[in-house]
């Protein structure tokens, strides 16, 4: 299978979510970061999913698979719009700020701007109408999950929904406007990055959150009972990391119904992501070959079973729709020959994590000599410790193996591992920003299996050492990644 064009040359990337920028939004810091990447010879910016999050802030359990997180909107850029009166756009609460902004837009924007808003609503109707209605209903029901709403709203009875559409018309329009502004700012940033040779690399979780607009809008595509509760949920079986496995709790797909619609739900989902990104990582790729199904009544993942998924049918349909699939498969964990065959058939590189490489023997698949071009090498990911934090916590025998393997060198961590990633045969090598800044374990983005204090990490520009762009550019040149 032919690779996507983005893999026609060796590249390097940096992993940094938008929320980890000093401002945490799509404003000036995002543009400055693109300039930083360009000056370092880095041509890929990888980030996490962009969707609106629940209270835990996890971008992997979003309220929509399509919408953008309004918290990422830059207030400064909003105030700079030609129709905006900046003095009146000061409200600290984003929802109220957007309501003020919309009223200014309505009264002062020119016809071209209003036409652009109208076209956006029309073009994205396939998800936008359900999303704004879902968010408004959630607001009216004190932020309760949709399956706890009154039955007529939970079950989408048209008369009940029409009543809300009529009574809350203005509020729904403001929510549409919020998405319009998010995507306008997003596309301005993407254009800026692409003009400077920087590709944007997104992330698409295989499953969607139970409490999401997607599941509420099309419940027949998921394994739900008549009350909207899942009958079977997703997770992974017991393994080296957990004796009871992981019970994620996401509802599973009703694959026969997806197949009957020729995977139209997936085509729409991928379409939204491809409008935003040049390359997309699919989280938990192995679930497209077979998925660990757990009865919803079970509190752990122990009593699940592997159930086949129609991966080939799905990706054939996506190839027909899009011509090429610029996708990277997150193929970590216990991967079978069937999963590898599915990934290779559609030309998707897999992932190699150097933090997983050491402490065993020469057959470890993550060791550099075991890697292939058809892969993306990372020092670590958003789910790992920082490389410095990881190295500091290693057992002596693992450290000894690492230094024996990488040879006698005076280069300190984490740059020793950064160099190893960049020198690898992988088409793409990606380094988390924390590693470029030589930060310790206190700067982790996420600790899997915990819910407190994740997804909050931010860097400051004064953390960036003098000369780092020249150092990184020299390595990119040395290893053919410029």
Residues labelled catalytic? 283, 330, 383
Could you give the angle at which helices 311-322 and 337-345 cross, rounded to 10 degrees?
10
How open is the CA angle 15-199-368, to the nearest 5 degrees? Answer: 55
Please check whether residue 368 is in contact with residue 376, taking contact to mean a CB–CB distance below 8 angstroms.
no
* CB contact at 8 A, 128 and 176: yes
Residue labelled with tokens 């693992």: 398
Structure tokens at 189: 């940033």
| DSSP secondary structure letter of residue 382 | T
Are the beta carbons of 102 and 88 closer than 8 angstroms? no
Identify the CA nearest to 57 among candidates 450, 435, 379, 432.
450
Rounded CA separation 57/65 (Å): 15
Dihedral angle over CA of 272, 277, 278, 279, nearest 10: -90
Provide the residue count of the chain: 482
The edge-to-edge listing of strands for the beta sheet with 290-295 is: 246-251, 232-236, 290-295, 305-308
How far does CA 51 lie from the centroid of its chain?
A: 8
Our CA angle for 335, 337, 343, nearest 5°, is 80
Tell me the chain's radius of gyration from C-alpha atoms. 23
Indicate the SS3 state at residue 38. Answer: helix
Burial of 428 (0-12, 13-18, 19+ CB in 10 A): buried
- Determine the Cα–Cα distance for residues 242 and 281; give it in Å rounded to an integer: 25
């Amino acid at each position: 299978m032919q690779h996507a064009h983005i893999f026609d040359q060796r590249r390097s990337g940096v992993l940094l979510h938008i929320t980890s920028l000093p401002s945490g939004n799509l404003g000036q810091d995002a543009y400055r970061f693109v300039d930083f990447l360009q000056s370092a010879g880095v041509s890929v910016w990888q980030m996490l999913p962009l969707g609106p999050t629940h209270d835990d802030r996890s971008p992997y359990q979003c309220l929509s698979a399509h919408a953008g997180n309004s918290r990422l909107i830059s207030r400064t850029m909003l105030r700079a719009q030609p129709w905006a009166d900046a003095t009146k756009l000061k409200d600290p609460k984003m929802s109220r700020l957007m309501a003020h902004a919309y009223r200014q837009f309505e009264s002062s924007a020119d016809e071209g701007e209003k036409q652009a808003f109208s076209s956006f609503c029309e073009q994205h109707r396939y998800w936008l109408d359900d999303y704004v209605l879902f968010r408004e209903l959630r607001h009216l029901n004190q932020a309760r999950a949709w399956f706890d709403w009154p039955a007529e709203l939970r079950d989408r009875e048209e008369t009940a929904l029409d009543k809300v559409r009529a009574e809350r018309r203005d509020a729904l329009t403001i929510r549409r406007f919020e998405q319009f502004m998010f995507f306008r700012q997003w596309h301005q940033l993407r254009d800026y990055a692409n003009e400077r040779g920087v590709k944007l690399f997104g992330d698409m979780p295989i499953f969607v959150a139970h409490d999401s607009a997607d599941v509420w809008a099309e419940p027949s595509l998921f394994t739900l009972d008549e009350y909207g509760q899942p009958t079977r949920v997703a997770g992974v079986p017991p393994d080296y990391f957990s004796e009871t496995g992981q019970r994620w709790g996401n509802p599973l797909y009703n694959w026969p119904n997806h197949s009957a619609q020729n995977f139209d739900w997936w085509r729409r989902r991928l379409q939204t992501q491809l409008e935003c990104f040049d390359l997309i990582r699919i989280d938990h790729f192995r679930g497209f070959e077979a998925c660990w199904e757990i009865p919803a009544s079970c509190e752990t993942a122990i009593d699940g079973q592997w159930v086949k998924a129609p991966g080939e049918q799905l990706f054939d349909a996506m190839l027909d729709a899009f011509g090429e699939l610029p996708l990277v498969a997150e193929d970590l964990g216990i991967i079978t020959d069937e999963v590898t065959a599915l990934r290779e058939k559609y030309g998707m590189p897999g992932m190699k994590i150097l933090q997983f490489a050491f402490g065993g023997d020469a057959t470890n698949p993550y060791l550099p000599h075991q890697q292939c071009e058809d892969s993306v090498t990372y020092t670590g990911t958003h789910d790992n410790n920082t490389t410095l934090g990881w190295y500091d916590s290693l057992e002596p025998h693992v450290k000894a193996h690492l230094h024996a393997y990488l040879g006698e060198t005076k280069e300190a961590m984490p740059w020793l591992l950064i160099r190893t990633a960049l020198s690898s045969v992988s088409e793409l090598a990606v380094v988390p920003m924390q590693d470029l800044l030589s930060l310790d374990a206190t700067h982790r983005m996420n600790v899997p299996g915990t819910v407190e204090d994740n997804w909050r990490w931010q860097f400051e520009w004064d953390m960036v050492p003098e000369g780092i762009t020249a150092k990184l550019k020299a390595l990119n040149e040395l290893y053919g990644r410029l």
